Amino acid sequence: MLSENRKELSGCHSKFERPYLESPEIFRIKFTKTGNLRYISHLDLQRTFHRVLVRAGIPMWYTKGFNPHAKLVFALPLPIGCESMCELADLKTEREITEDEIKAQLNTQLTDEMYILDVYRPDTKFADIMYAEYRIIISSPNLKPDTAEIVSKLFSSPLYMMKRTKSEEKEVNISDFIKSFEAFFKDGALEIKTVLSAGSTANLNPEYLIAALKDRTDIFGCDALNCSYNIMRTRFYDRDMFEFR
């Protein structure tokens, strides 16, 4: 476990001892956001990550001027309450450092609920993300042998709901935002694997699926203490359904 095996990095350079680069480099950081950290907002995540980068001694590149700030760009914000195993952030650095050093130095400052999975130099842009895959696990005493079939039929048909946009709230067919959908039973719970639109022009928060289930089925028609669900974002895809890196 990260929290039990945190060790000082032997031979780690101070960031001020590292040579300057002729031009800044960009690294892509893939990390998790699970457990209690699912409840922090995207703004809190940005603040937290910046402090971690400072503590880890990563030689970040800063803008020039009266109010310099680090160049750190995140991919699609994760809805509050959702976990993720595929969060992405692009970091610009101004001094020499390797992918392995960034990963190791950051993980010494992180926990089991947020840790670095990979660091690499990207050849794609976040604008290329078109879809996100989610795993939803639902526990309820109201689950029945035919529940998975009922749920699959629900989301394969036109399903109109009020969807909030930046400027208004309007009724839309959320099925148009569902690329793929599969529901089945696993370990006594209902598991859903779905791919939803997640681009800059079309996107669907997975909570809309939960809202539809609450409104159109009796899965959650019981004591809230006995019903629960968990949403995990597992990967991103581009327009051609290749996994985004």
Percent of the chain residues topping a pLDDT of 70? 94
The pLDDT of residue 121: 97
User: Can you tell me the mean pLDDT for 199-225?
Assistant: 89
Q: Does the pLDDT of residue 212 top 50, yes or no?
A: yes
Query: Once rounded to an integer, what is the mean pLDDT over residues 111-139?
Result: 97
Q: What is the CB-side half-sphere exposure of residue 160 using CA atoms within 13 A?
A: 3
Q: CA distances (Å), 76 to each of 86, 106, 181, 198, 236, in order?
A: 11, 21, 21, 8, 10
All structural domains of the chain with their residue ranges = 15-123, 128-237
Write out pLDDT tens, residues 50-70: 999 999 999 999 988 788 888
Please tell us whether the domain made up of 128-237 is placed in CATH 3.30.70.3190. Answer: yes
Residue 6 has pLDDT above 50, yes or no: no
Q: Are the C-beta atoms of 189 and 143 separated by less than 8 Å?
A: yes
Which neighbouring-strand residues pair with 31? Answer: 87, 116
Return the minimum-mean-pLDDT range out of 1-15, 91-105, 169-183: 1-15
According to DSSP, the residues that pair with 164 across neighbouring strands are: 169
Amino acid at 127: A
The per-residue pLDDT for 10 is: 38
**CATH architecture group of domain 15-123:** 2-Layer Sandwich (3.30)
